[in-house]
A = this chain, B = another copy of it.
Amino acid sequence: MSQKEDVCQYRLMIARDTLEVIQGKWRLPIIISLTHGNKRFGEIQRDISDISPKMLSQELKALETNKIIIRTLHDSMPVTVEYSLTSLGLTMKKLLDEILDWGVLFRKEILEK
């Protein structure tokens, strides 16, 4: 196999790793919501108005497993839970920016034509 093909194969493998983390309808929205500050369960739900508590709970767990976010329990009077990005989660900032920049471009090129 040529070196060029090797590079392509390597990139395809890496892309699958990233995809495993961000795949699905809700994970990127949840991460984006958390880039705007640490949030409680209900606050994320209000940001993403059409997500059900089931999906939110499920996807938060998956993101926690992948060490993208962290769940903190506050033993205040009404027990509250705070979700925040981990240092690994924060490294997605550039990736998120590119997704948003491209989305703007796509909207300009396609959706508005």
Contact = CB atoms under 8 A, between A and B. Distances in A.
A100 interface: yes
B4 A28 contact: no
Secondary structure at the A interface, as helix, strand, loop or mixed, is helix
Q: How many copies does the complex hold?
A: 2
21 contacts: A4-B36, A8-B33, A9-B47, A11-B36, A12-B32, A12-B48, A14-B100, A14-B104, A14-B107, A17-B107, A18-B99, A18-B102, A18-B103, A18-B106, A19-B25, A21-B106, A67-B110, A88-B105, A88-B110, A94-B102, A95-B101
Interface of A: 4-5, 7-9, 11-12, 14-19, 21, 23, 25, 28-29, 32-33, 36, 47-48, 66-67, 88, 91-92, 94-96, 98-107, 109-111
